[in-house]
């Protein structure tokens, strides 16, 4: 990578040109209902984990979709797979499979090797 | 001898269609399942966006039918509806058989039964009511919590039974957002000390002067709008309602204790309509409403020749649209009878 | 003339398969744990051995269980297995009694007619010949059905038949050829010599009337021997390996060996014992309602045998346990599926040392990287002391009518109870377990156990069968764990609550995890009988359906679920009951959107039936609202 002689701070924008959306693609392919999410927050409102710690499935969805993947994996682990979110989601998103697939995608992807 | 048209359903669409058909010189029978006509208008108090009294619209509609000698049959339901060659035979529950040259179906909509969204606790918690229950309160002139006290903190849940795969309704009911805004303003007018919260997924204010009402609700009436789907409600010992929602714009879960929770029940195909579809072999869509032959230029036409649709039995509509749709049905009937 | 080269293929095949089976069994035996080895040794000299013989006769030969489920299919299996057995059995006697020598090599019995063409002209000999023809006809009738089943599975009463791999196809062809070629070989020989009974004799003389029977007989004897030999040699690499394996399985099971939670010899023997009968496919609602036809247990067994990656299959299952219940071989299908779920995708070691002939699938106990705790955010809680704990469970929080009803019932009981997850709590851990994530589940289990232990309670009541199952099986608690239906049953038995009769016609749906999963069938029904007119459905007890909502399946979406729910609800409400009752919040929620019949949990109905005076009995506990207090004073 080219280095300039001065420091460029990472922009605050979501860099849609360079962000890595492979995780999202991995999920889309295996769980198409991921595309149906409208970010209503029903899942995160009812969430067992979300009531005890900072964790929002809705937020994770949008971060993955935008390729803002840093720290997502750490968060995903907190899900208890309890299934409440599936029961409230108005769009019939198969939320738990998304959590599992996202974890899988991160594990498989060399870029996020832990 | 003038031709005979049977109109099924005495709500907004049915009244408008019956009155207009009669005015065209046709012999019209109007069948209504209740003891009075007017349908949902009887329950609603004030209408959006101009906040006029619903009785004014009802008076206009009923005046139209009375002035034109529509034959009205109340407390009737349909037991059979057949088409033989060029006329229809309509059999009612009281054993009457009506022979008609054309039929207009105006069976309207039912409000979504909010108890089906069990997590909101309608029918379980005392202080969870529906938009229709609230209109009843407006009519009576007093808005109270279950114990008779004045509610101070009031929440309104949008999209109850609409846009919800779990409720089996994928569509948007189109009018509940504006109803929520209207009702929020009315409550604030009634109780200036109350605080109002609308919990929405999207604000769909697509109608003349709807968006303006939304602005008014914010500016003049300080109604709060929070973007997030309420996931569930629970009850405290003193019968207050606690809701859980994610404030999606703040990105944080939010918990709120309310004195009253109002559910914006959506519109569904009426049970009577579903029964009629079975009796007469009428096509219904995935959304269970009647399926017209063409969405663009045949929205009144059914798959049975000589049978036409008017109003919300085909999709959610506001009153303006319902009346226009009923008038369009009238012109379809007249055309049809001229050519047959 | 006591030997002919055509018997060679048969001899090779037979010796091979006998030797192979012995070696295979030894390998499996050696793979057992010490305790299981001991069990088998003890079993060999005890009653298990006799039991096994009986079971082998009833199940492997007569196929009693299949006969019960599906007569035509059972007949097909029975006529092939039992018929073949009889042919060998009576054939051996025939060769011993009527042959030139006693104690013959097996081939002399199998090819008896070739070596004794003149046999069976009169007297006892002809009666015996008649018997042998009858048995052959019996086998052929089964074969006829089998061939039809392959092409038109509906005729044998099956909706789906299993798919085949190439080696299976060759073996299948060989199997199909065995009996027709025997029929023709014997018929030609009989035709040439004017012997044979009603089948071989009649067919033989007819054939001989226009064909050179003497010359044609020989090639068919070759065909007969070749098809037998081919079948035996291919047997280990095809699904027909189930024939010898099942015998070993029956003995292992009778010795008291269980599947356990890791792969081992026993689970492998189970996998190889699957006869691909397809009964599990027909029972699975993912097939019948949702049209998913590649994940059923028959396919899972096949995929494991073939060393394919089974993760996708293993996870796409409701874990309803319906197939476990019907499998005629008695394979513990759910535990095997759980093993595969735990194994995940990456941990499979392929040991194809002897290629397909020695397929084994030992999952190496790969050291999972030690992970630091993931749920360390769980708050430290010090619960109040109580005698009875009520744990509603995650799902119940979305069905407030169940939660409220339970609170009313608990209040009415006057017991000193505590609602531990009133404001929400940690998950019970079972969903994680079902996803194969035992380590994570263990963290939640430890957390909840602490909570329960700290409360000092003696009884733990839960409304959710999912929680109930995991509390009972995977928690180490010294409290009595009750599902609310059992708890209510106790309250009624001990006269602690009084209930009205509701005058409603009720059909009860047994939830999977409560019924097949935990064996609780009667208590809910007894409670319902107490308060309503309980009617029977076609799906009682272990035959109950799955509502489709199961948390065990993470792969199917809401549309497929609602297909299952609608079909199941339609079946259950066929008699138009007033209420479809269940005992699970998830079943309730799933069914509610699938039927217009009222769906209610047992707790709700009991709360409705509560007689008010019994509520009054516990006034010392009741918290009055301001209005009620005013009314009293
Ligand atoms: S399954 Fe995970 S994300 Fe969904 S509600 Fe439970 S803890 Fe939250
Ligand atoms: S509830 Fe469903 S639609 Fe709403 S944010 Fe969660 S996943 Fe998306
Ligand atoms: S109009 Fe508004 S409240 Fe009604 S269904 Fe549409 S988005 Fe929801
Ligand atoms: S698993 Fe059992 S029921 Fe299924 S095909 Fe195999 S033997 Fe038959
Ligand atoms: S457990 Fe149930 S869903 Fe799974 S394969 Fe067996 S019958 Fe089908």
Q: So what's the ipTM on this one? A: 0.90
A84 close to C (CB below 8 A): yes
Do C270 and C154 fall into the same domain?
no
Backbone angles phi, psi at B323, to 5 degrees: -65, -40
C-beta A65 within 6 A of ligand 1:
no
pLDDT tens sequence across A19-67: 999 999 999 999 999 999 999 999 999 999 999 999 999 999 999 999 9
Compute, in angstroms, the gap from residue C209 CA to the centroid of ligand 3. Answer: 86
Q: Return d(Cα C51, Cα C41) in angstroms, integer.
A: 15
- For residue C278, the ligand 4 atom closest to its alpha carbon is 5
Q: Determine the straight-line distance between the first and last CA of chain B, rounded to whole angstroms.
A: 15
Q: Return d(Cα A78, Cα C344) in angstroms, integer.
A: 19
Backbone angles phi, psi at C346, to 5 degrees: -100, -15
pLDDT tens sequence across B225-252: 999 999 999 999 999 999 999 999 999 9
Subunit contact A92:C558, Cβ cutoff 8 A: yes
C-beta A37 within 6 A of ligand 1:
no
pLDDT for res B130: 97
B168 close to C (CB below 8 A): yes
- Which ligand is nearest to the Cα of residue A99, counting in written order? 1
Work out the pLDDT band at A4, boundaries 50, 70, 90. Answer: low
Radius of gyration of chain A measured on its C-alpha atoms: 15
* Greatest distance between any 2 Cα atoms in chain A: 54
pLDDT for res C160: 57
**Domain end (from C317, C347, C377):** C347
CA of A50 vs chain B CAs: smallest distance (Å): 8
DSSP category for residue B39? G
Beta bridge partners of C505: C533
Domains of chain A and CATH, by start: 20-108 (1.10.1060.10)
Report if residue C218 sits inside a domain: yes
Do C389 and C420 form a contact (C-beta atoms < 8 A)?
A: yes
CA dihedral C328, C333, C335, C340 (to 10 degrees): 150
Chain B residues within an 8 Å CB radius of C404: 124, 235
| Structure token pair of residue C3 | 């030997």
Compute, in angstroms, the gap from residue B177 CA to the centroid of ligand 3. Answer: 5
pLDDT for res C382: 87
DSSP category for residue C240? G
- What is the CATH architecture of B114-266? 3-Layer(bba) Sandwich (3.50)
pLDDT tens sequence across A65-75: 999 998 899 99
Do B207 and B49 form a contact (C-beta atoms < 8 A)?
A: yes
Report if residue C429 sits inside a domain: yes
Backbone angles phi, psi at B87, to 5 degrees: -140, 165
- For residue A81, the ligand 1 atom closest to its alpha carbon is 1
Report if residue C610 sits inside a domain: yes
A83 close to C (CB below 8 A): yes
Subunit contact C593:B237, Cβ cutoff 8 A: no
Ligand 3 pocket test, candidate residues B168, B204, B317, most atoms within 8 A of CB: B204
Residue spans of beta strands (DSSP E) within C379-425: 388-391, 417-419
Report if residue C125 sits inside a domain: yes
Do C528 and C452 fall into the same domain?
no
C444 close to A (CB below 8 A): yes
Report if residue C39 sits inside a domain: no
> The domain spanning residue C477 has which CATH number?
3.40.50
C423 → chain B, closest CA residue:
B234
C377 close to A (CB below 8 A): yes
C589 close to B (CB below 8 A): yes
pLDDT tens sequence across B70-126: 999 999 999 999 998 889 999 999 999 999 999 999 999 999 999 999 999 999 999
CA of A40 vs chain B CAs: smallest distance (Å): 5
C-beta C319 within 6 A of ligand 5:
yes
B124 close to C (CB below 8 A): yes
C291 close to A (CB below 8 A): no
Report if residue C329 sits inside a domain: yes
Subunit contact A87:C589, Cβ cutoff 8 A: yes
Compute, in angstroms, the gap from residue C65 CA to the centroid of ligand 1. Answer: 42
pLDDT for res C352: 45
C625 close to B (CB below 8 A): yes
Subunit contact A41:B228, Cβ cutoff 8 A: yes
**Domain range enclosing C496:** 492-632
C-beta A79 within 6 A of ligand 1:
yes
Q: Nearest residue CA, atom 8 of ligand 2?
A: A37
pLDDT for res C2: 75
Q: Return d(Cα C32, Cα C9) in angstroms, integer.
A: 35
pLDDT for res C3: 85
Do A86 and C548 form a contact (C-beta atoms < 8 A)?
A: no
Pocket of ligand 4 (CB under 6 A): C 274-280, 297-298, 301, 327, 329, 331, 333
Residues of chain B above pLDDT 70, percent: 100
C2 close to B (CB below 8 A): no
Q: Return d(Cα C514, Cα C521) in angstroms, integer.
A: 7
Do C442 and C467 fall into the same domain?
yes
| CATH number, span B4-108+270-338 | 3.50.50.60
**CA C100, C104, C108, C109 torsion: positive or negative?**
positive
**What are the helix (H) ranges across C317-435?**
322-326, 333-343, 400-413, 430-434
The three-class DSSP label of residue B255 is: strand
pLDDT tens sequence across C325-350: 999 999 999 999 999 998 876 544 44
Do C98 and C174 fall into the same domain?
yes
Subunit contact B165:A44, Cβ cutoff 8 A: no
Do C497 and C614 fall into the same domain?
yes
Do C182 and C319 fall into the same domain?
no
Burial of residue B278 (CB within 10 Å: 0-12, 13-18, 19+) is exposed
Q: Return d(Cα B89, Cα B80) in angstroms, integer.
A: 8
Give the DSSP per-residue string, A47-101.
Answer: -TTTTTSS--HHHHHHHHHHT--TTHHHHHTT-----HHHHH-TT---HHHHHHH
**CA B142, B147, B150, B154 torsion: positive or negative?**
negative
My answer on whether omega of the bond before C284 falls inside 30° of 0, hence cis, is no
In this complex, the residue of C431, C555, C557 whose CB is nearest that of residue A80 is C431
Find how far residue C532's CA is from the centre of its chain: 33
DSSP category for residue C61? I
Chain B residues within an 8 Å CB radius of A88: 119, 166, 229, 231-232
C-beta C606 within 6 A of ligand 5:
no
pLDDT for res C608: 95
Compute, in angstroms, the gap from residue C586 CA to the centroid of ligand 1. Answer: 15
Do C206 and C70 fall into the same domain?
yes
Give every residue of chain C whose pLDDT is below 50, as ranges: 347-354, 364-365, 367, 614-633
Report if residue C30 sits inside a domain: no
Subunit contact C395:A87, Cβ cutoff 8 A: yes
Picking from B114, B109, B153, B264, the residue whose alpha carbon sits closest to that of residue B201 is B264
Q: Return d(Cα B191, Cα B221) in angstroms, integer.
A: 11
Burial of residue C382 (CB within 10 Å: 0-12, 13-18, 19+) is exposed
Subunit contact C400:B124, Cβ cutoff 8 A: yes
In this complex, the residue of A40, A47, A87 whose CB is nearest that of residue B229 is A40
Do C178 and C207 fall into the same domain?
yes
Would you kindly state where each structural domain of chain B is located, as residue ranges? Answer: 4-108+270-338, 114-266
Do C544 and C479 fall into the same domain?
no
- For residue C273, the ligand 4 atom closest to its alpha carbon is 7
The three-class DSSP label of residue B292 is: coil
Compute, in angstroms, the gap from residue B264 CA to the centroid of ligand 3. Answer: 8
Do A67 and A16 form a contact (C-beta atoms < 8 A)?
A: yes
Scan residues 2-31 of A and list those with Cβ closer than 8 Å to C. none
User: How would you classify the pairing of strands C459-462 and C480-483?
Assistant: parallel
Subunit contact C400:B237, Cβ cutoff 8 A: no
CA of C618 vs chain A CAs: smallest distance (Å): 33
Residues of chain A above pLDDT 90, percent: 74
| Structure token pair of residue C627 | 């209005």
Helix axes C438-455 and C465-474, enclosed angle (nearest 10): 90
Subunit contact B201:A56, Cβ cutoff 8 A: no
| Structure token pair of residue C274 | 């699957």
What is the average pLDDT across A92-109?
94
Q: Nearest residue CA, atom 6 of ligand 5?
A: C323
Place of tokens 């027709």: C180
Place of tokens 């079993």: C43
Compute, in angstroms, the gap from residue C439 CA to the centroid of ligand 2. Answer: 28
Compute, in angstroms, the gap from residue B141 CA to the centroid of ligand 3. Answer: 26
Do C111 and C69 fall into the same domain?
yes
Q: Are B4-108+270-338 and B114-266 in the same CATH fold? A: yes
Chain B residues within an 8 Å CB radius of C626: 147, 238
Q: Return d(Cα C467, Cα C291) in angstroms, integer.
A: 30
Subunit contact C426:A80, Cβ cutoff 8 A: yes
Half-sphere exposure of C70 (CA within 13 A, CB side): 20
> How many distinct structural domains can be found in chain C?
4
pLDDT for res C168: 79
C-beta B163 within 6 A of ligand 3:
yes
Ligand 4 pocket test, candidate residues C81, C326, C329, C332, most atoms within 8 A of CB: C329
Do C208 and C102 fall into the same domain?
yes
Do B179 and B131 form a contact (C-beta atoms < 8 A)?
A: yes
In this complex, the residue of A46, A82, A92 whose CB is nearest that of residue C427 is A82
Ligand 2 pocket test, candidate residues A37, A83, A94, A97, most atoms within 8 A of CB: A37
**CA C393, C399, C405, C408 torsion: positive or negative?**
positive
Do C131 and C177 fall into the same domain?
yes
- Count how many residues are written for chain B: 340
């Amino acid at each position: 990578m080219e280095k300039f002689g001065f420091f460029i701070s990472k922009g605050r924008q979501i860099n849609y040109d360079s962000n890595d959306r492979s995780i999202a693609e991995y999920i889309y392919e295996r769980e198409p209902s991921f595309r149906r999410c409208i970010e209503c927050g029903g899942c995160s409102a009812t969430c067992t984990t979300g009531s005890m710690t900072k964790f929002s499935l809705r937020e994770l969805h949008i971060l993955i979709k935008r390729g803002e993947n840093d720290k997502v994996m750490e968060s995903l682990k907190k899900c208890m797979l309890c299934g409440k979110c599936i029961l409230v989601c108005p769009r019939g998103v198969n939320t738990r499979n998304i959590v599992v697939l996202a974890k899988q995608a991160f594990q498989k992807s060399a870029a996020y090797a832990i | 001898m003038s031709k005979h048209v049977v109109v099924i359903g005495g709500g907004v669409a049915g009244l408008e269609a019956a009155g207009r058909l009669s005015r065209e010189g046709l012999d019209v029978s109007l069948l209504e399942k209740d003891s009075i006509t007017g349908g949902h208008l009887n329950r609603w108090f004030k209408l959006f966006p101009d906040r006029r009294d619903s009785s004014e619209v009802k008076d206009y509609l009923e005046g139209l039918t009375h002035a034109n000698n529509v034959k009205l049959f109340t407390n009737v339901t349909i037991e059979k509806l057949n088409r033989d060659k060029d006329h229809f035979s309509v059999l009612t529950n009281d054993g009457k058989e009506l022979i008609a040259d054309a039929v207009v179906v105006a069976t309207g909509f039912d409000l979504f039964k909010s108890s089906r969204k069990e997590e909101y606790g309608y029918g379980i918690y005392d202080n969870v009511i529906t938009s229709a229950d609230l209109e009843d309160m407006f009519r009576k002139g007093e808005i109270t919590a279950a114990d008779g006290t004045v509610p101070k903190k009031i929440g309104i849940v949008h999209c109850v039974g609409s846009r919800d795969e779990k409720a089996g309704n994928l569509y948007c009911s189109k009018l509940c957002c504006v109803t929520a805004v209207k009702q929020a303003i009315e409550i604030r007018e009634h109780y200036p000390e109350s605080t109002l919260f609308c919990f929405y997924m999207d604000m769909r204010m697509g109608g003349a002067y709807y968006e303006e009402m939304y602005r008014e609700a914010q500016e003049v009436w300080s109604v709060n709008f929070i973007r997030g789907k309420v996931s569930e409600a629970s009850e405290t010992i003193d019968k207050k309602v606690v809701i859980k929602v994610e404030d999606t714009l703040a990105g944080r879960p939010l918990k709120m204790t309310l004195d009253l929770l109002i559910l914006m029940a959506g519109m569904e195909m009426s049970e009577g309509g579903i029964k009629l579809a079975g009796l007469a072999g009428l096509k219904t869509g995935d959304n269970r409403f009647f399926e017209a032959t063409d969405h663009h230029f045949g929205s009144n036409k059914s798959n049975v020749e000589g049978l036409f649709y008017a109003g919300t039995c085909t999709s959610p509509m506001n009153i303006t649209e319902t009346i226009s749709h009923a008038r369009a049905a009238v012109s379809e009937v007249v055309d049809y009878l001229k050519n047959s | 003339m006591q030997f002919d080269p055509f018997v060679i293929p048969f001899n090779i095949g037979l010796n091979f398969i006998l030797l192979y089976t012995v070696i295979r069994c030894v390998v499996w035996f050696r793979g057992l744990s010490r305790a299981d080895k001991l069990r088998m040794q003890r079993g060999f000299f005890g009653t298990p051995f006799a039991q096994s013989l009986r079971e082998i006769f009833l199940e492997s030969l007569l196929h009693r269980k299949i006969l019960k489920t599906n007569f035509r299919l059972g007949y097909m299996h029975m006529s092939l297995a039992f018929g073949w057995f009889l042919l060998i059995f009576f054939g051996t006697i025939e060769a011993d009694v009527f042959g030139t020598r006693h104690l013959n090599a097996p081939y002399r019995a199998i090819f008896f007619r070739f070596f004794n063409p003149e046999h069976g002209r009169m007297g006892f000999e002809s009666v015996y010949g008649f018997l042998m023809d009858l048995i052959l006809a019996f086998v052929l009738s089964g074969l006829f059905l089998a061939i039809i089943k392959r092409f038109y599975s509906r005729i044998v009463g099956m909706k789906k038949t299993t798919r085949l791999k190439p080696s299976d196809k060759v073996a299948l062809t060989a199997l199909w050829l065995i009996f027709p070629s025997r029929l023709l070989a014997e018929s030609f020989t009989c035709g040439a010599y004017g012997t044979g009974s009603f089948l071989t004799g009649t067919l033989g003389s007819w054939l001989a009337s226009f064909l050179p029977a003497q010359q044609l007989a020989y090639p068919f004897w070759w065909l007969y021997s070749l098809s037998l030999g081919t079948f035996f040699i291919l047997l280990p690499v095809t699904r027909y390996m189930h024939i010898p394996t099942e015998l070993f399985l029956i003995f292992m099971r009778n010795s008291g060996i269980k599947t356990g939670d890791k792969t081992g010899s026993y689970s492998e023997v189970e996998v190889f014992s699957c006869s691909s009968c397809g009964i599990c496919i027909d029972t699975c609602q993912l097939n019948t309602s949702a049209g998913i036809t590649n994940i059923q247990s028959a396919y899972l067994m096949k995929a494991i045998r073939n060393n394919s990656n089974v993760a996708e299959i293993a996870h796409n299952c409701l874990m309803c346990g319906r197939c476990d219940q019907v499998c005629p071989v008695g394979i513990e299908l759910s535990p095997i599926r759980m093993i595969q779920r735990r194994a995940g995708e990456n941990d499979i070691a392929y040991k194809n040392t002897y290629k397909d002939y020695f397929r084994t699938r030992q999952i190496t106990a790969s050291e999972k990287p030690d992970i630091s705790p993931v749920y360390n955010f769980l708050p430290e809680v010090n619960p109040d002391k109580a005698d009875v704990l009520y744990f509603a469970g995650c799902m119940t929080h979305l069905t407030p009518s169940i939660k409220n009803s339970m609170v009313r019932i608990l209040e009415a009981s006057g017991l000193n109870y505590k609602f531990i997850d009133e404001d929400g709590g940690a998950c019970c851990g079972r969903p994680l377990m079902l996803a194969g994530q035992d380590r994570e589940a263990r963290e939640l289990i430890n957390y909840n156990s602490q909570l329960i232990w700290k409360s000092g309670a003696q009884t733990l009541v839960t409304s959710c069968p999912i929680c109930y199952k995991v509390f009972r099986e995977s928690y180490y608690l010294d409290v009595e764990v009750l599902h609310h239906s059992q708890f209510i049953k106790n309250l009624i038995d001990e006269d602690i609550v009084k209930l009205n009769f509701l005058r409603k016609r009720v059909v009860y749906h047994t939830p999977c995890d409560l019924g097949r999963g935990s064996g609780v069938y009667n208590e809910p029904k007894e409670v319902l009988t107490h308060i309503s007119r309980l009617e029977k459905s076609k799906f009682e007890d272990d035959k109950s359906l799955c509502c489709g909502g199961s948390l065990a399946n993470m792969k199917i979406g809401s549309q497929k679920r609602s297909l299952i729910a609608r079909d199941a609800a339609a079946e259950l409400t066929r008699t138009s009951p007033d209420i479809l009752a269940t005992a699970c919040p998830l079943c309730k929620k799933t069914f509610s959107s699938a039927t217009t019949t009222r769906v209610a949990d047992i707790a709700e109905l009991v709360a409705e039936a509560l007689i008010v005076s019994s509520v009054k009995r516990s006034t010392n506990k009741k918290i009055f609202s301001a209005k009620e207090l005013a009314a009293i004073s």
